[in-house]
A and B are shown apart, each in its own frame.
Chain A
Amino acid sequence: MRTFHRLVVLAAATGLLGTGVARAQMEHEVKAAHLFKFLSYVDWPAAAFEGTRDPFVIGVIDAEEVRASLADIVRGREARGRPVEVRRLESGDATEGVHVLFIGRPASEPLLRLVGRPALLLVTEAEGALDRGAMINLMLVDDRVRFEVAPQVAERSGLHISSRLLVLAQSVRTVAP
């Protein structure tokens, strides 16, 4: 069984992320898995791709462990019929061609400038990030990785977040800041 599944299943089975280093590692892996699965619940405009086989590109800033896990997960896998590519980005790097941008906690401050950029799903892991323009914010609730969503913000970027995902969200921010 693939790692991703193992992780999900493990998380589901235990319901907890564990403790210590192992716990931190687990958290990164679960977050990486979430990033991959979000691809299935978000609709990008057709213009976001040049060809039908163009890959999904997930950019990761300031979250090396998550990026590493994600790279493991997407290897040889597809989402919605497209291959998935993971890029390590620095703050200030161009985001052309990137569909999902995960911004690690340390780098969440400079997000505001990215708000409103078309077809880029902004995912963060910092409290209050939705107020600063993030669309999905990962968080820990009772030692589980959960997330909150601001669908209207995403809409403004031309992204549609499936209601099925919203159902699972810890909270849904309905009013734009």
Chain B
Amino acid sequence: MRLPGFLRRSVRRKVTALVVATTLAALLVTALALVSYNVHDYRQSKLAEMRTQAEIIGRASAPALTFADRKEATRGLAMLEARPDVLQAALYAADGTLFASYARDGDSADIPVRWATLGEWIEQDRLDLVSPIVEDGQRLGTILLRARYGLRDRLLAYLVILGTVMAGALGAAVLLSAWLQRAVTEPIQGVADAARRVVDRRDFSVRAGRTTEDEIGMLADAMNRMLADLEREIRERRDAEEALRVVDRRKDEFLATLAHELRNPLAPIRNALHLMQAPGSDARVNAEARAIIDRQVRQMVRLVDDLLEVSRITTGNLALRRERVELRSVAAAALEAVDPIMREHGHRLTVDLPPIGLLIDADPTRLAQVFLNLLNNAAKFTPQGGRIDFSLEVKDGEMIGRVRDNGVGIAADMLDPIFEMFAQADRSLERTTSGLGVGLSLSRKLIELHGGRLEARSAGPNQGAEFTVRIPAAGAAGRDRGDGTAGPRFASSPRLVPARDASPSPLATAATEKKCRVLVVDDNQDFADTLGHMLKSLGHEVRVEHDGLAGLAAARTFRPDIAFLDIGMPGLNGYDLARRLRAFDSTRGVVLIAVTGWGQANDRQRAYDAGFDDHVVKPLEMDRLQSLLGRMG
């Protein structure tokens, strides 16, 4: 329904209009009924009254008519003076001629001199009534009464009364509704005010007061709930935006750090090259230069590895390759890798490992990576000649690894942020430590993927720090039965995962392997040849080929123990080569290692599907090479 503008804007006015309109309608209908009934009733009663009057006068006039006594008849009519509403009256004799007349104002000029028709006429405000005078069955004559009808006055008076009553009723209704509608409009007003405050001030903490239990109360509740939701969502969005900004800033800082860190090793490398190229450089200088280059390249590889991990985390491709692993060997790998930096800083490392043969379901590479990261951090953040403790134990179905140092420690407010991506506790340019701020974040993620947690504790700056790794080992951990049947293929292979001896120094386990026959197939001749040289320098028997088919032929004749195969090769690619080798009896037992530039999880999976035993990403470091070959022992 279309309402006038002033009504559309206010509920209060609407309610008032509603009350007034309905009351008015009811009153009008009532008034109409009353008036029409009254008009009808008035007519009936007036006519009845006049008929009676005519009858009375007629009877009284009968003798006068009978004895033709005009005087008496006129006197009889004159009694009508007692009735002010009767204006004129007349008696007609039996033959219709005027016999006697009466006029209230004395003017009887308009009284007809003859009358024959009986009946009743109401015209405007005049009532004419003509009835017969009969006595003893004899029609003696006719009487005419002419009276003021008076309906107009009556109606006027009636309407005045009705109007007064209606006005009173309307007034009462409006007053009553004004009082009652507060129960309706005030809650609505409350809700509307709250809504307006929200819109005007963008203040979502405003709440509508709930004053009633009816639909309006429900409306207020619903609005309050929506406001609460809105407020929470806005806060969340703000927080999320803030978090995004932080991440974004960290990424920028990370890129700056990355550029810096990548550039750092370049200068020494170039210098070393200059030294080597310089005429007359002796063997000692050359050896020193090579050592420099080696160190710096390692550092760069580590940085690039970190970068790859970052991309895995951000693209959600960080996955575990879980297998049943022997705990000590994992620890040993980490300890072995961290040995150089420990020596460099002159730290005293105390190691407390569980007895040999404790198995756990985990990704050995990743777990070792975590320990290595923690040990590396401890080494980096502890001043020269510090003390570092590393312990591993299985207790209550849980593997607990601890790395404790007496280094720079961590401020309480940094205990959580250090686990965030790209976080650097020390952002100063002069900081002594290097790194991309990826390690702890990645470590925590890896441990969480194992279903465990990584926590940091520190009493404060310069109070040292302790990192604890907890991984549930229930159901998986236990003594290896030693029959080689338990667990997946790699874990059960004695050649790949040997349960290591409890050697007094895990660092001493490397480079003590037996000599192997090694086949290298890679179409990158430089890579293949350098790898070949490295292997030869380690004392292995090596054969190098540069395409798949040649590799296949060589494998049949050379009968290698282990083969490093490139994947992308002309002629026959690495996957197909691996399948062929697995298909022949003579080459089925060769340990196949894929060496590629791609380290994504699906690349690994394809390699395993094709029959590879392991998958390594270029460049292949000497340490890694030794570790791989070491497992052959």
Chain A interfacial positions (CB closer than 8 Å to B): 1, 5, 8-9, 11-13, 15, 34, 37, 40-41, 79-80, 164-165, 167-168
Contact = CB atoms under 8 A, between A and B. Distances in A.
Given A5-B94, A40-B136, A80-B136, A11 B68 contact: yes
Contacts of A12: 68, 70, 93, 99
Given A80-B136, A168-B72, A34 B97 contact: no
B61 to A, nearest CB: 10
Nearest to A81: B136
Interface residues of B, number: 17
A168 B136 contact: no
Contacts, number: 40
A169 to B, nearest CB: 10
A34 B67 contact: yes
Given A79-B136, A80-B136, A168 B67 contact: yes
Given A5-B94, A9-B94, A12-B93, A165 B70 contact: no
A11 B68 CA distance: 7
A83 to B, nearest CB: 14
A12 B91 CA distance: 12
A29 B234 CA distance: 124
Contacts of A80: 136
A9 B91 CA distance: 13
Contacts of A165: 63
Interface in B60-88: 60, 62-64, 66-70, 72
Interface of B: 60, 62-64, 66-70, 72, 93-95, 97, 99, 135-136
Given A13-B97, A164-B63, A8 B68 contact: yes
Contacts of A79: 136
Given A5-B94, A9-B94, A13-B97, A37 B66 contact: yes
Given A12-B99, A167-B72, A168-B72, A37 B94 contact: no
Contacts of B69: 168
A9 to B, nearest CB: 5
A64 B535 CA distance: 190
A84 B70 CA distance: 28
Nearest to A13: B97
A4 to B, nearest CB: 10
17 contacts: A1-B95, A8-B66, A9-B95, A11-B68, A12-B68, A12-B70, A12-B93, A13-B93, A37-B66, A37-B67, A40-B135, A79-B136, A80-B136, A164-B60, A164-B62, A164-B63, A168-B72
Contacts of B94: 1, 5, 9
B70 A168 contact: no
Contacts of B60: 164
Contacts of A167: 63, 72
A164 B135 CA distance: 13
Contact of B64 (A5, A9, A168): A168
Nearest to B98: A13
Nearest to A166: B63
Contacts of B68: 8-9, 11-12
A80 B67 CA distance: 17
Contacts of A11: 68
B70 A15 contact: yes
A8 B95 CA distance: 11
